[in-house]
Amino acid sequence: MKRLANLPAMDKAGQVDFLVVGAGPVGLVAAILLAREGWRVTVVEKWPSRYPMPRACTIDHEALRILQAVGTMEEHAGLFEPSRGERGGYQIRNGAGTLLRAINWNRPAESGWANTNGFYQPDLEEVLESMAEEIPSVELRRGWSAEAVEQDAEGVILTMSRTEDGSDQEQLRGSWLIAADGANSVIRDLLGIESVDSDFEADWLVVDYVPLVDRQWDAFVTQYCDPDQPATAVNSGPGRRRFEFMRRADCSVGELGRSETAWRLMEPWDVTPENARLERHAVYTFRARWAQDWRRGRVFLAGDAAHLMPPFLGQGLCAGLRDARALTWRLSMVASGLADTSILDSYGPERGAHVREIIEEAVAVGEMVCELDPRRAADRDKDMIALLNDPEAVTVEPPHPKLGQPSITAAEDGNAGRLSVQARVEVDGVSGLYDDVIGGTWQLIGLDVDPLANVPAEHQAWFARMGGTASSLSEDGPIRDVDGDYRAWFAGHGCNVVLSRPDFYIYGTGTPDDVPRLLESLRAALSNSPVYTETGAMS
Ligand SMILES: Cc1cc2nc3c(=O)[nH]c(=O)nc-3n(C[C@H](O)[C@H](O)[C@H](O)COP(=O)(O)OP(=O)(O)OC[C@H]3O[C@@H](n4cnc5c(N)ncnc54)[C@H](O)[C@@H]3O)c2cc1C
């Protein structure tokens, strides 16, 4: 942490460092990450109380590493139930129950947390909100709607009024603004940013329930591609389950949203009022959409304001948390004078291409699941079964996209722009995850080598000023690779040094001989940002 967060919420000129519109999970995570860096943040939220309806129920390893950085995992890791072991991963079955495809959600993941985890979004939002409220430099203004935004060379002026009756118009001033105001983002519209729509659209009933009896399900998530009634069954965190049902043409949205309909649709799985308590249910229209620009001057889009996807891969919130991390490290470095404002230009291109790949995969799964035509569904089943040599085999890896270009990554490095690694280490008898034990915003890690061996002292000092840490891991040295996960990761990536960014993406890899070059190019990228492309050209 660069500065103590114990600051008044506003400076003398009445300007905070950051304004955040929207106290959903993305806005709150962005606010906490900035406040932990010592910045003053005001969060403006339209509604007086938190959104109570069911939405995200699975979260991936990378998002949990981001929540670890937020400080959530220290006390609240129990909110998340890992998909692992005999309970299986993600299965796609046809109407007759035959396995069509499986996604390996139980794979060992690179972020130090289980690949996929069930959770209950309202519980997470409650924790995030109380964490934000405990930080003196964060002010949460609930019950205020953002209505207008203007900007000049020094900052942004946000006009808001009371949501209840439109009274009490107020203006807030901040150096930068993050629009995390959700799918119907007012800020996005005010800035005139267009979205691209993929034309995917389907209404689904989402039913969260508490099972009253113990029961084993054959997978963490099962998609039932039954043209008579497409459905999803999923673990939604400790002590909870969820069903989702697609609306058929013969059922109105009103009819679908009734609790009687929810019970009727769950009955074939023997989920009844005798063995389950209905917690919440709501009808959502699943869509796929992404903003064409992620930035206008000092204003940035993040989360659902920037992209929307059908939830078949459980990635909407995960993508939003990636945005929050990718944006806040940049903004914090720029605001503290450690980097040039030009590093902000790569936020949208990097995140946009990454999330597009996930949206496209989510739509592809959605189209498979939402098929209502029995003949086309039968053809689909035949084709998919033909591809499965072993019906019990887990065949497909979850999406693992690379950052888009131009990006702040090393040129001509096949690993750059992919997700980096975190695993358990032990130092002086204390073991834990790397970020907790060693930490560092920028992380330079060598396996069995000193990554700084060839780096001039001046570059080492610069790297430390950036919040960088350097460490040498080994089987039995002072920093132990406890489970051999780093050894396996480095072997898989053909290197023994990695330089990772504050959002856990790889800046570059190589050997200790490559580190001076990597640090020089990073320094150039942060100071006047000649952004390197994959071919090594500068743009
Ligand atoms: C049924 C369903 C299942 C899902 N499942 C998953 C899943 O399993 N895994 C996953 O990762 N994601 C999933 N998602 C997606 C996930 O829920 C969203 O991506 C996530 O909640 C978006 O967070 P956000 O903070 O960007 O937006 P939101 O949570 O929508 O927050 C935006 C906030 O901005 C506020 N706001 C709006 N306008 C204004 C204004 N003018 N002024 C002030 N405040 C304003 C809103 O009141 C709201 O609080 C699912 C979504 C749905 C609908």
Q: For residue range 184-236, what is the model confidence (pLDDT) as tens digits?
A: 999 999 999 999 999 999 999 999 999 999 998 889 999 999 999 999 999 99
pLDDT digits 0-9 by tens, 407-460: 999 999 999 999 999 999 999 999 999 999 999 999 999 999 999 999 999 999
Contact, 321 vs 369, CB < 8 A?
Answer: no
Per the confidence metrics, is the pTM higher than 0.85? yes
Q: Residue 40 corresponds to which tokens in the numbers above?
A: 């003053």
Distance 360 CA to ligand 1 centre (A): 19
Mutational test site, ligand 1, from 181, 280, 284, 328, max ligand atoms within 8 Å of CB? 181
Which residues 6+ apart lie within 8 Å of 249 measured at CB?
Answer: 372
Q: Residue 369 corresponds to which tokens in the numbers above?
A: 């699941």
Higher-pLDDT residue of 6 and 511 is 511
Nearest to 327 by CA among 353, 360, 293, 350: 350
Mean pLDDT (the chain, rounded): 93
SS3 322: helix
Sign of CA dihedral 500, 501, 506, 512: negative
Residues with CB under 6 A from ligand 1: 21-27, 44-47, 51, 55-59, 145-146, 180-182, 186, 206, 284, 303-304, 311, 314-318, 320
Lowest mean pLDDT among 97-111, 152-166, 223-237: 97-111
Distance 372 CA to ligand 1 centre (A): 28
Task: Determine the Cα–Cα distance for residues 342 and 474; give it in Å rounded to an integer.
Answer: 37
Distance 328 CA to ligand 1 centre (A): 19
Q: Facing residues of 245 across strands?
A: 205, 231
pLDDT digits 0-9 by tens, 28-58: 999 999 999 999 999 999 999 998 888 999 9
Q: pLDDT-based confidence at 539, cuts 50/70/90?
A: very low
* Distance from chain centroid for Cα 146: 24
Residue 533 pLDDT > 50, yes or no? Answer: no
pLDDT mean over 227-256: 96
Contact, 26 vs 205, CB < 8 A?
Answer: no
Q: pLDDT-based confidence at 395, cuts 50/70/90?
A: low
Which residues 6+ apart lie within 8 Å of 536 measured at CB?
Answer: 411, 412
User: What domains does the chain contain, in order, with CATH numbers?
Assistant: 424-527 (3.40.30)
Atom of ligand 1 nearest to the CA of 183: 30
Whose CA is closest to atom 6 on ligand 1? 56
Q: Residue 485 corresponds to which tokens in the numbers above?
A: 């996960």
Q: pLDDT-based confidence at 536, cuts 50/70/90?
A: very low
pLDDT digits 0-9 by tens, 293-350: 999 999 999 999 999 999 999 999 999 999 999 999 999 999 999 999 999 999 999 9
Residue 3 pLDDT > 50, yes or no? Answer: no
